[in-house]
Amino acid sequence: MKLTETAEKAIAAYGGRTLWESAKTLETRISAYGLAFTLKRRPFFRHARMVLDVHRPFSTLTPIGRNPAITGVLDGLDVRLENAEGKGIAERRNARDYFKIGRRLFSWDDLDMSYFANYASWNYFTLPALLMRKDIDWKELKPGWLEARFPDAIPTHSRVQRFRFDRETSRLIQHDYTADIISPLAAASNVVLQHAQNSTGLVYPSIRRVTPKGPKGKPLGGPVLIHLDIHDFRLI
């Protein structure tokens, strides 16, 4: 598969093709807060532990809610909850189908949050590997701008998304999408405010802020829907 110039430069900026092709697991900790949590009556994340499969939509997040012993698991299109011993205690097949109507307009339970937080993080954090996937249709709109069309088999915010990369560093600076499970009108811009470097020298987006996307396509200054801090980013 031939990649666009912008994609090739972005992969190189985040460690290179060989690193991401050989990596199996990504481990990190996240802290997150914002209006999106408040509106769905969810607690904020404070140094929650995440373990993600680099090459398929599989991710775990601990704790997923107020009980520190409960882990939320995304496994493809399905979600489940596990206790401290790794035993499944609840599950929901084809989790996206449950967001169409009802009380989810006003509140989310642990399974709802397991789906949203895990799939969103999997998409954000595995970006260099995403650029190399054959099942995602990547198109270069102009230098520094990529448009992605995702297949139904990948849980994600919306089927069509746009990514903007810095022309000098080739690092991600903006990711635009519609959070369909919240609302067809929930057009958002996920802006990377800061990058960091881990102990191995790997560069990664370390601070992100999600706000509504304005009518002219630019991120609005507020409200802050999600503020995301990424800690201890490691590939294994």
Q: What per-residue confidence (pLDDT) applies to 100?
A: 80
pLDDT band at 117 (very low <50, low <70, confident <90, very high): very high
Q: Which domains are seen in the chain, by residue range?
A: 5-235 (2.50.20)
For 134, residues 6+ apart whose C-beta sits below 8 A from its C-beta are 1
Longest dimension (CA), the chain: 49
Q: What per-residue confidence (pLDDT) applies to 2?
A: 82
pTM of the model: 0.97
pLDDT tens-digit readout, 125-144: 999 999 999 999 999 999 99
- DSSP secondary structure string for all residues of 136-158: SEEEEEETTEEEEE--TTS--S-
User: Residue 54: is it exposed, middle or buried by C-beta count within 10 angstroms (0-12/13-18/19+)?
Assistant: buried
